[in-house]
Structure 1
Amino acid sequence: MITFLLVGLIVHVVFFISIFDIYFTSPLVHGMTPQSIPLKAPASRLVLVVADGLRADSLFSLLPNGSSRSPYIRSVIENTGSWGVSHTRVPTESRPGHVALIAGFYEDVSAVAKGWKENPVEFDSVFNESRRTWCWGSPDILPMFAKGASGDHVYTHTYPAQEEDFASTDASRLDRWVFDQVKSFFQSVKSNSSLGASLLEDKNIFFLHLLGIDTNGHAHRPMSKEYKENIGLVDSGVADLVSTVEEFFGYDGKTVYVFTSDHGMTNWGSHGAGHPSETLTPLVVWGAGVQKAQRVNEVQPYADGYLQDWQLEHVRRVDVNQGVLPLLYLNNSEEFKAESMYTNAIQILEQFKTKMSQKKETTLSFLFTPYQFLTESKQVEITNKARILIQLQKYEDISLCQTLITRSLEGLVYYHKYDRFFLGCSVVMGFIGWTSYVVLVILKTHSGLSRPPDVVQKIPSRKLLTLCLCVALLIILFLLVQRSPLTYYIYCLLPVPVWYCVLKESGTLTDLVQSAHSLPLWKCLRYFVLVAFGIELLVVSFFHRSVLTIGLAALALWPFCSGLFSKAKWRSLSWFLGCLCLAAFPLMPVVGREPNVDVVMCAGLLILLTSFCYLWSSRHKTPLHTSDRPQFVMLHVAVCAYVPSLTHSSLLQKQGLPLMNQIISWSTLASSIVIPLLSSTRIFHRLLSILLSLTSTYFLLSTGSEAVFPPVLSWLMFAWINIEQEALLAQGVAGRQEVSSIDFAANIDISRIRQLKLDDIRRSYFFVFFIITAFFGTGNIASINSFDPASVYCFLTVFNPFIMGALMMWKVIIPFIIVMCTFETIQVSTQLSSRSLFLIVLVISDLMALHFFFMVQDYGSWLDIGTSISHYVIVMSMTIFLMLLSVLTHVLTSKRIILWRRTKIHFP
């Protein structure tokens, strides 16, 4: 079993990693010839101000009295600059937003597998191309671009990371610190002649990253007084900044100012997904070379309805996609615009040439298929014609440059995906082979099929081995000639040993066919059809959580359709009600829920009431061991259910996170795995201890209705354990055995381990269904991308993405453990080896993963692409994770730590 798990783990890790080589590779190329515009730039310096987390409507909307909370920015819009809405792309997070703003491209998907603060790939940025760049702001953002810059010309000034505290009484002090530092910087220049000379040179950038609005939005929500007052502070800070800069440079008219945001924020204080409040950010540009405000009389072509609300319909609005600056913002000659367009086209064409050259060098000449819409002759034709048009001063006909840009970008995508089909076929072959092998192992070792001794394998093992070695050798030679990366060898060679094992066990399939006459074919067909339909239902549930409600409603009817209701009415009713109650959760919103800590306390009371009822009803059947003290654990649950209320109240009063609450939270988290190991290994006693310990941590990480999910899920899991006993009795597999009398730690009697039955396929499917429900019951992809930071406020309020992410991941895992412990219990109580059921679960999970592998798409919006990839990653992670979690579950249920033993004293 251990060997099989290790092999299976390696195979699934390879399948998991393959998605990063197929879809998560960086499209960026290096080694191109730099391009520049031959004309003088209108500006000598850039002042870039990014108000982190600022929504467009929050900046542009007027107060009820008709005044603006940002009067300076408003005056720029109406008089001296150009404005619009900058449309961001998912994920609406700080790093992708700043990469788009400063480097000019949307962060590629390879960044998903990299760190949060560092550059995921090497890329060029406007900071790197500047003569010097001075930055002030967050320690999470500034170092990323300083590290990627060549030479030593990007200077960063950051405040301590501890200042990013969501429980702070005044997060706007972060922005005030930035403005004060900038003012002090320009004052210090007066006594530093060398620094002053540096500032007077061209190509200098001043970058101000303002985090106060984002921090106040997370802590108090964007509709709060703190968030809105912070906008006013930023507006006055920008006004003072412009005055300081202009005074220092003598009002020379060579400074350009850009004010924008990296992303917005939802009403509930989160960002990361694609809601308009997250993707619509303000963009205001003014200064040297920028078009001034233009009055318009006709209706502007924006159907979002914001102009009238903002009362800015009289000023021309120019929207952009984040990372792209349109020509409408420029106030310069037509020649300058044409040269800019031409240079941009040549830059992208150079990337295309480099990419094509790289792919051509690593592909056999007779297999290489060039991009037909941009051959070398077409490149020369378009570039020469565009150059001649500029020389003839026919600037209005320069649309050829846009054509060249479009085709070059399409060609880059073509060569970036060149090996995708080949790699995909290799992974699919491995997938199908592995799944087939697992099915054959199940049939051979757990189905009771017996092979006659005179059956001879159709393919001799020696010839089969020789054939596989020859295939492997040909694959290696092919990859060597193409100078393929090392990972390509793994993906292409893995199917060879897998299919060798499949063909070697082909005799088992022959046995099945020969035994078909003795099998209940109609019953088998019915089971397989139902399971296939169930797998499709689970796949659809990844896109529509409400499908889980339909599935739970269908599962609720199982005892009535199978005849179990007549044999166990109360247990069937408990199952029915548990399914219906759990079915309500997938219908609840996953994001945007207002915190309601009273619900957390109600959930605590519910779990305590359920535990008390169980202990009272089982006091005669399964009396507690003298060392068990469930009342202390129950008291601890009550405390943990009340701590979020105390924390929420303290933060509302701006008194910070109480130290005692923090101590309770971290000690609860640390002890949540140890406490169950101190209890009795009797099934229900141990399960109750696990439930109470884990839900204590879950309550500390909850802010509202999701706290009720573990108690309801546990209710259904207890009902499942009990009703499976009745199902086992109905099959005539074994006599009735009281579940409560079973001990997890007892030695398993091998003689009682039975062979697989068709009903075990149903048990395995139920397990997979409940695992998916545990994951999506209170969330989905959007909720993961935009989780509410308030969930971790009992543990910490200082911004730390890694610790916060780990805490949220543990919150996701807790329902998994509850389902896993239930499945472990069913394996024990139904007298079935853990390997048998787990193999069926593996097949179901792999079929889902293969389904999602075919559904991965590389077109459409970033959200569509990211979601499709995320689904595959989730299913593959679940398969690998369940292998590891099964070990943890076995320890949680069967092991016990005895801190003291009662010794007997013998008297003479």
Structure 2
Amino acid sequence: MGIPVFILAGLLVHVVFLASIFDIYFSSPLVHGMTPQQTPLPPPARRLVLFVADGLRADSLFELNSNNTPQAPYLRAILENNGSWGISHTRVPTESRPGHVALIAGFYEDVSAVAKGWKENPVEFDSVFNESKYTWSWGSPDILPMFAKGATGDHVYTFCYTAESEDFGAQDAAELDTWVFDHVKSFFNSSRSNQTLFSALNEEKVVLFLHLLGIDTNGHAHRPYSKEYKENIRKVDEGVKEVVSVLESFYGNDGKTAYILTSDHGMTDWGSHGAGHPSETLTPLIAWGAGVNYPQKVTSQLFEDNFLKGIFNYVKMRMLLFAQADIAPLMASLIGVPFPLNSVGTLPLEYLNNTDHFKAESMFTNAVQVLEQFKVTKHMVKKKNVSLNNNYCCTVPLSDSEQINFLKKARLYIQQQKYNEAVSLCKTLINLALEGLSYYHTYDRLFLGLSIAVSFVGWTTYVILVIIKTHTNLINYQSNNKVSWKFLLFLFSALCILGLFLKFCLVANLWSLPIGQAVGFFLTCILGIELLVFSFFYRSTLTVGLLVFAGWPVITQLWVQAKRTTLIWTLLCVLLAVFPLMPVVGRESNIPLVIAAGLTTLLISCFSLASFSRGEYKYQSKEDLKVYLYQMFSIALSTYVVSSTHNSLKNKQGLPIFNQIISWMTLAFSSALPLLSPTLLFQRLFSILLSLMATYLLLSTGYEALFPLVLSGLLLAWIQMEQEALQHYGLSLKPKVTLAVFNFAYATDITQFRQLHLDDIRRSFFFVSFCWLLRRVVMSFSCFPSFDPASVYCFLTVFSPFMMGGLLLLKVVIPFVLVSCAFEAVQVTTQLSSKSLFLIVLVISDIMALHFFFLVKDYGSWLDIGTSISHYVLVMSLTIFMMLMNGLAQLLTTKRLELSRRTKHHST
């Protein structure tokens, strides 16, 4: 198989492996064909007003100011005198789309839907808005349309401001909320002169939805403890008070309006969200008005979570705890509309101020609605899987007869006015139906998981065979040049045993026990892979690994023949080991460090320019020198733009258009400039660093700006150390190459390549280790998975999730490009083909991926399940990414664009 075909095949295989996990674990939970369920008794409210304060932290709403006054006095008075309050638990990812879907539709969207957009729905779903008679909504163009599009009929109306209004650099993002409040008041004032609208507003089953984005925007721009964030909460409190006054006046204080204020997600202290910290997953809810219970004072309440304890200490009123999806059935019950068809929420009865009969009927309706989903899902799975029979499904409760018995018994309890017993039985039925839903939704996981595991073993076996057959002398070829079937059987068995051994040790927790007599090198490889796996859970493991790397030349006696390079290697390893211990970037911006990184880069460039102007490093033409000087100018300009932009934003003057143009131009030209530089090793690598560093500075907000400099220094030392190691072990096919004159363009002669050696596994492991270092450290630089837009403010401040996400991804890619180019240099300077070492990298990465595949959970908390899946996805994505980076590195190091140059005429 040729190299291009092999690369394409490898990419296809790994894309399939990656996509499989989405089919197994991230498939949509939605089913269709259920019958709508509605409580038969008259509802307490004719209309519902839903306020969603996007990005509002629970503690920020309830905390007291320094003078012991409430942060939101109007809402505080409501929860103390008129309504109920509590904390809802969201699910990861804590982003706007899944949060609003859980609130309004009652189900938790699969994670992959987040990547499919805010405005377009990957699947149509039912919601409280869809079931209402009329819904009017005001707010963000990123949220409102997705609930209007899925609605049947023409009864969900949206009023949105422009997307350009969502500007993180705006003078006051609270104006977004002011826009909503003003338009709601204007809407009701104008309706008095519009008889059609006036009549519609006075219908039953009406929903008014106010989406308030200002708090989230100010939190991203200024952090949740900032003056702007707290002032925005105060403005929302005043706006809610004004809207309630307008509505009560419009409806003549008829007492038929229910109000709910909540949030889609919270926010971390450093202004991001998307992950699972309590500050992100715990959101406030205050309900009051028609049908809502009154507050209850308590002196104490037990909580396991310290975050909840802190919130309770602010209020000293009974705190209700529930899931975010429970809010949808609460809203449906208050205005008497059918529960959303795919809702998995359980009606929180503690919020209802109604008769026990109404509560029992509502809970019965809730139970039938969830049971309908269970029945449809079970039917679909049985239809798809012919082998699925009653004997196999005996572990799942709720047979057809049990369903009938539950419903009959609950209905009998209601008829006998045993309402508490009916409610208890309905809750049991809901829990059993949700358990059954989960079972049938995950029915195919075991079979699909085994299929992927076997495919992994087969692919890895094939790659090992390619390595042994093509790049080693371990196989004695027969006359037909085919490998012995006995050898294939032995290799396949060994690989299977290795996989089972890893799985067995994981399940039985035997890593700490003696493994017996084994080859030291094999144990070292296993230990190294396990340390890399362990680093996914503890970043400090990377620090330990780098300190071990620092001692590598001493252990192997390389320091004897390369004392100066060894010293540099050791110092840079120790310096790089500090970065995994640093806090996540985004907590506090530190622009002076970014400026210092830019100035340091310029200083290093000046020293390098002096070196490149003489001796073996000398530039061949003035055009080469011009490219280098332009790159230095680009570094200086980027440093200025970063400083200028953040000063402008700090003064609330927005993003200067000049800075924005320079930033995008730097990004556009940075990838092409290295191709104009000479292909000599140090000159080309340094050119790549300067071009990428100019863009990286624009995407930096703190100490992470120094990371590429330290990393690049270590990579250059690595290249030199590997050449010394080649001579040390006597593997070189030719005399020692002077790296100063080494040319990438002339390093493709296949006759100069040698076969693989045992030490080459160590080279590949170094590369994999650098990649995992980047994954753990650089991902924290870019605030993944939490969303913090501060890194992209030099490019744009108007909210654009995909554009911002793409720029943050670029910030991750840049260090990977540096490592990949260095690895390419290591391969060619150690006289190996680009394919041989990378195949070993592929094997190591796939063994790690298989390891994480065994770690995937489908039990425990949703966060535990999601975390285990995300680790596998990250490993697989990185494996695919490394394959792409390998091709990009070859392009950046070996190719050169020749511009038209003026020919010099010399006089004779």
When the two structures are superposed, what TM-score results if normalisation uses the length of structure 1? 0.91
Give the SS at the match of 2:274.
Answer: coil
Q: CA deviation at 1:784?
A: 0.3
Pick from 255, 258, 281 the counterpart of residue 256 of structure 1.
258
Residue 624 in structure 1 maps to residue 646 in structure 2: no
> What RMSD, in angstroms, separates the aligned Cα atoms of the two structures?
2.4
Q: Deviations over 1:116-161 (max 9, x none)?
A: 4433432211001101100000001101111111111110000000
Contact 2:461 2:491 in 1 (8 A): no
Provide the residue aligned with 1:346 in structure 2: 368
Provide the residue aligned with 1:363 in structure 2: 385
Tell me the distance in 1 between the aligned counterparts of 2:51 and 2:853.
42
Give the letter aligned to residue 327 of structure 1. Answer: L
Provide the residue aligned with 1:400 in structure 2: 425
Q: CA deviation at 1:907?
A: 7.1
Q: CA deviation at 1:305?
A: 7.2
Q: CA deviation at 1:772?
A: 1.1
Tell me the distance in 2 between the aligned counterparts of 1:875 and 1:270.
24
Give the SS at the match of 1:438.
Answer: helix
Give the SS at the match of 2:615.
Answer: coil
Gaps of 5+ in 1: 461-502, 513-521
Change (3 A) 1:56 1:454: closer
Give the SS at the match of 1:783.
Answer: coil
Residue 690 in structure 1 maps to residue 688 in structure 2: yes
Of 690-699 and 866-875, deviating more is 866-875
Q: CA deviation at 1:591?
A: 4.9
Give the letter aligned to residue 126 of structure 1. Answer: V
Provide the residue aligned with 1:813 in structure 2: 813
Contact 2:670 2:695 in 1 (8 A): yes
Change (3 A) 1:590 1:279: same
Give the letter aligned to residue 385 of structure 1. Answer: K
Provide the residue aligned with 1:284 in structure 2: 286
Provide the residue aligned with 2:650 in structure 1: 652
Tell me the distance in 1 between the aligned counterparts of 2:381 and 2:297.
51
Provide the residue aligned with 1:574 in structure 2: 568
Q: CA deviation at 1:903?
A: 2.1
Change (3 A) 1:740 1:19: same
Provide the residue aligned with 2:400 in structure 1: 376
Change (3 A) 1:782 1:317: farther
Tell me the distance in 1 between the aligned counterparts of 2:439 and 2:149.
31
Contact 1:104 1:324 in 2 (8 A): yes
Pick from 635, 642, 649 the counterpart of residue 637 of structure 1.
635
Q: Deviations over 1:324-375 (max 9, x none)?
A: 1411110000011111111111111111111111111122247662254221
Of 389-398 and 265-274, deviating more is 265-274
Q: Deviations over 1:298-318 (max 9, x none)?
A: 423346476777765553332
Provide the residue aligned with 1:91 in structure 2: 93
Alignment of 1:861-876 (within 5 A): 861-876=861-876
Provide the residue aligned with 1:192 in structure 2: 194
Tell me the distance in 1 between the aligned counterparts of 2:434 and 2:18.
29
Q: Deviations over 1:145-188 (max 9, x none)?
A: 11111111110000000000111111111111111111111111
Give the letter aligned to residue 675 of structure 1. Answer: L
Gaps of 5+ in 2: 328-347, 496-515
Provide the residue aligned with 1:500 in structure 2: none
Contact 2:135 2:155 in 1 (8 A): yes
Contact 1:591 1:786 in 2 (8 A): no
Provide the residue aligned with 2:794 in structure 1: 794
Tell me the distance in 1 between the aligned counterparts of 2:94 and 2:492.
51
Change (3 A) 1:410 1:445: same
Tell me the distance in 2 between the aligned counterparts of 1:114 and 1:423.
24
Tell me the distance in 1 between the aligned counterparts of 2:548 and 2:757.
22
Contact 2:779 2:812 in 1 (8 A): no
Give the SS at the match of 2:259.
Answer: strand
Q: CA deviation at 1:614?
A: 3.7
Alignment of 1:839-858 (within 5 A): 839-858=839-858
Q: Deviations over 1:758-783 (max 9, x none)?
A: 11111111111111112222434993
Q: CA deviation at 1:32?
A: 1.0
Residue 153 in structure 1 maps to residue 149 in structure 2: no
Alignment of 1:312-327 (within 5 A): 313-325=315-327, 326-327=348-349
Provide the residue aligned with 1:391 in structure 2: 415
Change (3 A) 1:747 1:599: closer
Change (3 A) 1:906 1:783: closer
Give the letter aligned to residue 445 of structure 2. Answer: R
Contact 1:52 1:262 in 2 (8 A): yes
Residue 444 in structure 1 maps to residue 469 in structure 2: yes
Change (3 A) 1:844 1:307: closer
Give the SS at the match of 1:878.
Answer: helix
Pick from 717, 720, 728 the counterpart of residue 719 of structure 1.
717
Q: CA deviation at 1:549?
A: 0.6
Contact 1:681 1:743 in 2 (8 A): yes
Provide the residue aligned with 2:726 in structure 1: 728
Residue 137 in structure 1 maps to residue 132 in structure 2: no
Change (3 A) 1:523 1:299: closer
Give the SS at the match of 1:34.
Answer: coil
Q: Deviations over 1:621-669 (max 9, x none)?
A: 2211222222331232122123211111111111111122111111110
Of 799-808 and 527-536, deviating more is 527-536
Q: CA deviation at 1:197?
A: 1.0
Of 635-644 and 236-245, deviating more is 635-644
Contact 1:443 1:508 in 2 (8 A): no
Q: Deviations over 1:364-405 (max 9, x none)?
A: 247662254221121122111111111111112121111111
Contact 2:472 2:755 in 1 (8 A): yes
Q: CA deviation at 1:906?
A: 7.4
Tell me the distance in 2 between the aligned counterparts of 1:235 and 1:591.
32
Tell me the distance in 2 between the aligned counterparts of 1:510 and 1:345.
52
Change (3 A) 1:144 1:220: same
Tell me the distance in 1 between the aligned counterparts of 2:234 and 2:568.
57
Give the SS at the match of 2:572.
Answer: helix
Q: CA deviation at 1:505?
A: 5.6
Q: CA deviation at 1:435?
A: 0.2
Pick from 667, 670, 673 the counterpart of residue 671 of structure 2.
673
Contact 1:765 1:844 in 2 (8 A): yes
Tell me the distance in 1 between the aligned counterparts of 2:532 and 2:646.
37
User: What is the percentage of aligned positions where both structures have the same residue?
Assistant: 59
Q: Deviations over 1:745-764 (max 9, x none)?
A: 12622221111111111111
Tell me the distance in 2 between the aligned counterparts of 1:668 and 1:389.
72
Alignment of 1:157-168 (within 5 A): 157-168=159-170
Tell me the distance in 2 between the aligned counterparts of 1:116 and 1:760.
47
Q: CA deviation at 1:71?
A: 1.7
Tell me the distance in 2 between the aligned counterparts of 1:395 and 1:181.
44
Give the SS at the match of 2:783.
Answer: helix
When the two structures are superposed, what TM-score results if normalisation uses the length of structure 2? 0.91
Provide the residue aligned with 2:880 in structure 1: 880
Give the letter aligned to residue 726 of structure 2. Answer: L
Alignment of 1:745-784 (within 5 A): 745-746=745-746, 748-780=748-780, 783-784=783-784
Q: Deviations over 1:162-219 (max 9, x none)?
A: 0001111111111111111111111111111111111111000000001111111111
Q: CA deviation at 1:115?
A: 2.5
Provide the residue aligned with 1:227 in structure 2: 229
Tell me the distance in 2 between the aligned counterparts of 1:508 and 1:302.
55
Provide the residue aligned with 1:859 in structure 2: 859
Provide the residue aligned with 1:19 in structure 2: 21
Give the SS at the match of 2:746.
Answer: coil
Contact 1:307 1:313 in 2 (8 A): no
Alignment of 1:550-629 (within 5 A): 550-617=544-611, 619-626=614-621, 627-629=623-625
Q: CA deviation at 1:106?
A: 2.4
Give the SS at the match of 2:271.
Answer: coil
Tell me the distance in 2 between the aligned counterparts of 1:48 and 1:54.
15
Residue 177 in structure 1 maps to residue 179 in structure 2: yes
Q: CA deviation at 1:23?
A: 0.7
Change (3 A) 1:542 1:716: same
Q: CA deviation at 1:879?
A: 1.5
Q: CA deviation at 1:525?
A: 3.3
Change (3 A) 1:542 1:116: farther
Contact 1:300 1:313 in 2 (8 A): no
Give the letter aligned to residue 428 of structure 1. Answer: A
Provide the residue aligned with 1:832 in structure 2: 832
